[in-house]
Amino acid sequence: MRKATVILGGLIISLVLFRGAALAADKFGYVDLSRIFSEYNKTKGYDKTLTDKEKVYTDERDKKVADLKAFQDKLALLNDKEREAKGAELQAKVKEFQEADRQKQAVLRKEQDEKMKEILKDIEEAVKKYSEKEGYTLVFNDRVLVYQTKSMDITNEIVDILNGGAKK
């Protein structure tokens, strides 16, 4: 019985040492995903495009709000009978404006989400390509790590890959 325990103990120690040696051969790295995202040229381009579209939309929206406000101000000057008749028209215009506003906001949000997904896919592909080339076993997002050494940070390399590919 004692011999079996010694053999079993030796086997367990061997497995632990073997696994430890295997882990030592693994290569780990991490990336600062938010920094990659913000330094990626494609992100900057998409941000500018979306900001421009949002500005055009905001300008149009402000003009429509001003028109509704002017209509409402004119309504206040009318007598009760005319105000009642035009009040329904104002309510219809407000309802139409609100629906169009919701739809436009949804379109802008959808476009932003699609662009973010595209950028995240690019980042994922760049990390995979670099990791395979350099022999990394695991690459983590720095936000899930409690502690990391700068020597394992491959953020700059990924940014370089992405921006090199974006220029082509």
Residue 166 has pLDDT above 70, yes or no: no
The whole model's pTM is what?
A: 0.69
SS3 of 74-104: the string is: HHHHCCHHHHHHHHHHHHHHHHHHHHHHHHH
For residue 9, pLDDT over 50 is answered with: no
Query: What is the CB neighbour count within 10 angstroms for residue 43?
Result: 20
Q: What is the mean pLDDT of residues 103-119?
A: 93
Which superfamily does CATH assign the domain made up of 24-167 to?
Skp domain (3.30.910.20)
Mean pLDDT of 26-53: 92
Q: Where are the domains of the chain?
A: 24-167
